Amino acid sequence: MKLILTEEEQFLKDTATNFANERSPINHFRSLRDSNDPILWDKNLWNEMSKLGWPGIMIPEEFGGSNFGLSGICVVLQECAKTLTPSPLFATGVLGAYSINTYGTQEQKEMYLPAIVNGKLTTSLAVDEASHHNPFQTEFIAKKQKDNYILSGKKTFVIDGASSDLIIVLARTSGSRGDSTGLTLFVVNADQDGINKIKLDMADSRNYANITFDNVTVSSDAILGDLETAGETIDDILDIGRIAISAEMLGNAEAAFDTTLDYLKQRKQFGVLIGSFQALQHRAAEMFCEIELTKSSVMAAMRAADERSNDLQRLSSLAKTVSGETLHLVSNEAIQMHGGIGVTDEYDIGFFLKRARVAEQIFGSSKFHTERYANLSGF
């Protein structure tokens, strides 16, 4: 397993870096937040991303994608994260694209994947029902009625849920809360009667929603994968998502670290640059080392996903744990080293702290994944 970028991945990385710096600097994110934008991402910018082929990176060529794998989209997410670029790329280009391409029927693939590639369709994955991540705690009901299913229940903290056109929802068709069996995934058009989206105001000013389903009728054709096999299916989908969000968190940490280094080289105290203080140098060195370790963890997980390694689950949890702990450390230290101005809205560094606190919880906190890693390793 080579922990270096290929020539093609490096090209994608350079393209994403230029795009993020030129088309979506942090001021772009700030303007969306300040304007109280209802979806908190720019449709014109999303169209530009689609023309670059980013939503189709994980989609086969027969449906218009480039079939570049998780590694390809991870390097894009990592670079876009450095400027906090808001877009539905994670929820659509990773979660939606992977779910439908891997577990969808031929009809579902033909219906949805080309629309994802050209940016006409956005998706969201509705899994959790409480404040703590645990897919097996699902109580959301899908009740069979002749050839249809009636969906009822509530999903919380759905990423891009306020704007998605298609919702991939985890439901219980049998069993009870806590069972890993009896779970089924459904693809549901978000504009169906009985679906109510409640936009959430989160610290990082991103697009999240709580979604309520009130006796929503779908046909059996809406089942994604096989009936009552989603216990394993959702675990696989979430592992792909965890690796992708880890890459994004790595980008957040790199940007916060670079911003802090620049500040240490500019700010003077007692007539000298604060970067000359040995204590701050030691703290900066620790951040650098943790970021380098995180790079290795994330890249190993990316490669494991594309190679379908038996270590995918363990490396996914490792990447999510390490990236979460590193971003927590770096965002905290960045604020500390900036002093009082770090928490003011005038400076961008505070955005990374807010993003860190939300991203750390997406699809499981470091505590969740430390325990999962231990269990998978036989401890």
pLDDT tens digit sequence for 19-29: 999 999 999 99
Q: What is the mean pLDDT of residues 250-275?
A: 95
CB 215 within 8 A of CB 225: no
Classify domain 125-228 at the CATH superfamily level.
Butyryl-CoA Dehydrogenase, subunit A, domain 2 (2.40.110.10)
CB 208 within 8 A of CB 39: no
Whether the per-residue pLDDT at 3 is higher than 90: the answer is: no
Determine the Cα–Cα distance for residues 71 and 309; give it in Å rounded to an integer.
14
pLDDT tens digit sequence for 282-311: 999 999 999 999 999 999 999 999 999 999
Residue 319 pLDDT: 98
SS (H, E, C) 226-267: CCCCHHHHHHHHHHHHHHHHHHHHHHHHHHHHHHHHHHHCCC
Which among 182, 190, 195, 63 is positioned nearest to 117, based on CA atoms? 63
Residue 118 pLDDT: 97
At residue 2, what is the residue type? Answer: K
* pLDDT level of residue 340 (50, 70, 90 thresholds): confident
Q: What is the mean pLDDT of residues 258-272?
A: 94
**DSSP characters over 195-209:** EEEEE---TT---EE
Q: What is the mean pLDDT of residues 173-181?
A: 94
Q: Token digits for 349?
A: 């560094």
Neighbour-count burial of 228, counting CB atoms closer than 10 A to its CB (0-12 exposed, 13-18 middle, 19+ buried) = middle
Give me the architecture of the 231-376 domain, per CATH: Up-down Bundle (1.20)
Classify domain 7-121 at the CATH superfamily level.
Acyl-CoA dehydrogenase/oxidase, N-terminal domain (1.10.540.10)
Which stretches does DSSP call E strand in the chain? 123-126, 141-145, 148-159, 166-172, 183-189, 195-199, 208-219, 223-224, 268-269, 272-273
pLDDT tens digit sequence for 81-121: 999 999 999 999 999 999 999 999 999 999 999 999 999 99
Give ranges for CATH 1.10.540.10 in the chain.
Answer: 7-121
Residue 1 pLDDT: 61
pLDDT tens digit sequence for 192-222: 999 999 999 999 999 999 999 999 999 999 9
Give ranges for CATH 2.40.110.10 in the chain.
Answer: 125-228
